[in-house]
Structure 1
Amino acid sequence: MEAGDCSYQFRIALLGDAAVGKTSLLRRYVAGAPGAPEPEPDPDPEPTVGVEVYRRALQLRAGPRVKLCITRSFYRNVVGVLLVFDVTNRKSFEHIQDWHQEVMATQGPDKAIFLLVGHKSDLQTTRCVSAQEAEELAASLGMAFMETSAKSNSNVDLAFDTLANAIQQALQRGDIKLEEHWGGVRLIHKTHTSRSPSKKQHPGPCQC
C-alpha cells in the first residue's frame, strides 16, 4: 500500500522508560508491513536518542487508509500514544502514570488517544507485573491494555492497529477534530483520482 493511497496521516508516539523495548516494537511493526524492507539496525545497544520517524500505511477496519508516522520521542503534535512498560521491570510500570501526566499536561486532555502496552510478554518466568494489575491501571487512566512481545511477534500489529482504529472512531464521533495548525491528524489531499489501478498516484503532502 502506497502513502499516496492514504486519506489521513496520524502522528503517534511510543513513550516509556529506557530499555522497555520501544525500538523493538517499532522495528517489528514496520518490518511487518507488506513489501517493507528490513529496518536498519541501531548503531549501538545504548538507549535510543533522537527523533527518528517510522512510517507505515494501514487499512482501518471500518474507514479509510491512513499513514502512521511513529516516533520514540515525545512530540506536542501527536494524536495517539502507546505507553510502554516492561512486564519484567516494576519501575517501568510505576512510571507509566508520570508519562501519562506529561502528555496530558503538554498535549491537553482532548487531543490524544492512549493504549497501555505491557511489553516482553514472552518472559513469563521473570515477569513482576500481572496482567490484572496492568488492566486496573489502564482502566483508572481511561485506556485499554494489551500485552505484546516483539521477540515472538505477539500482538505487535494488533497494538498499533487498535490505537489507529480508536483514533479513527474518535474522529468520526467528533471527539478529535482536524485543526489547521495541529499535526496530530492531517487530511491528505489527493491531486487526482486515477481510473487505472496500474497508475501510480502522487504521494501528496504526506511528509511527517
Structure 2
Amino acid sequence: MSVEDQYDFIWKVVLVGDSGVGKTNLLSRFTRNEFNAESKTTIGVEFATRNVQIRGKTVRAQIWDTAGQERYRAITSVYYRGAVGALVLYDITKPQSFENLDKWVSELKEHADPSVCIMIVGNKTDLKTQRVVSSEEGRTLAEKYHYSFIETSALDASNVVEAFNNLLVDIFKIQTESDKSDSTSRIVPHDNKGQDNHGNQCGC
C-alpha cells in the first residue's frame, strides 16, 4: 500500500455555487496545483482527492465539483448526501452569483447532513478592478449564517490551500468531538496523489 493510500479519515467535501464561479479551477489548484483558463463547464459531477495532515492524523479529502447550472441541480443534489463539508462559492465580479448564495445554502441544508460544515468563499480576487461584491458584504453574509468566510483566487492560488485546510480542520473538530468520524467511508478512493498540509483552524 502506497503512502497516498494510507489515511485515518476520508471525508466528502462538495463545492457548490453558480456556474462559472470557479469551482473546477479551485479544485484543480488545491489537488493538482493547476489552473486552466479554458476550463469547460462541469457536466454532472467530478471529484479529486488530496491527503492532509491534521493533528497527527491523515485525512483524505475527497472533493466533489458539482455543476452549477439549474438543469443539472436535480442530478447533483444526490451528491450532497454523505458530505461533511461544503465550500459555497460566488464570483466577486458577479453580483448575481452572490445573491444566489441563499439558494445554494438552502439546498445544502435540504440535502446534506445537518452537521455539515460550511464555508462561504468569494473567488477570483485576482480581478481586483472588476470587483463588485466587497469583502465586507461576503463576511456579513457568512456571519448571518454563522459560517466561515474567505476570499480566494484559483488563478494566483491566493488562500486556496487555506480555504480547504481551514474547512477540514473544522470538520475534524466536529467529527472527532461528536464521535461521528468514519474511516471506512462508502466513497470509493480516487487515484489522484495529494500532498500533505497542516490546516489552521477557522470558525465553522
- Shorter-chain TM-score: what band? 0.7 to 0.9
Runs of 4+ in 1 over 6 A off after TM superposition: none
Count of matched residue pairs: 176
Q: CA deviation at 1:188?
A: 4.3
Q: Structure 1 residue 173: deviation in Å?
A: 2.1
Q: Which runs of 5+ in 1 are unaligned?
A: 33-37, 179-185, 190-204
Task: Check if 1:118 corresponds to 2:122.
Answer: yes
The one of 83, 87, 93 aligned to 1:82: 87
Indicate conservation of the 8 Å contact 1:30/1:55, yes or no: yes
User: Which residue is equivalent to 1:48?
Assistant: 42
Is 1:149 the counterpart of 2:142 in the alignment? no
Pick from 109, 112, 137: which aligns with 1:104? 109
Partner residue of 2:195? none
Residues 1:57 and 2:60 aligned together: no
Over residues 117-156 of structure 1, what are the superposed CA-to-partner deviations in whole Å (9 max), with x where a residue is unaligned?
1000111111110101100100111101000001111001
CA pair 124-66 structure 1, distance change in 2 beyond 3 A:
same
- Where does structure 2 lack aligned partners over 5 or more consecutive residues? 67-75, 191-204
Aligned-residue sequence identity (percent) comes to: 33
Q: Distance in 1 between matches of 2:87 and 2:39?
A: 22
In 1, distance between residues paired with 2:3 and 2:47?
A: 17
Asked if the contact 2:24/2:39 (under 8 Å) is kept, the reply is no
RMSD over aligned Cα atoms = 2.3
Q: Is contact 1:22-1:84 (8 Å) kept?
A: yes
Task: Tell me the secondary structure at the aligned position of residue 83 of structure 2.
Answer: coil
Contact 1:2 1:57 in 2 (8 A): no
User: Compared with structure 1, are the counterparts of its residues 14 and 128 closer, same or farther at alpha carbon in structure 2 (3 Å cutoff)?
Assistant: same
Query: In structure 2, what is the Cα distance between the partners aligned to 1:137 and 1:173?
Result: 27
Higher helix share: 2
**Aligned match of 1:21:** 22
Return the match for 2:100 from 87, 95, 110. 95
TM-score (norm. length: structure 2): 0.79
Which sits farther off after the overlay, 22-31 or 44-53? 44-53
Instruction: Give the TM-score, by structure 1 length.
Output: 0.77
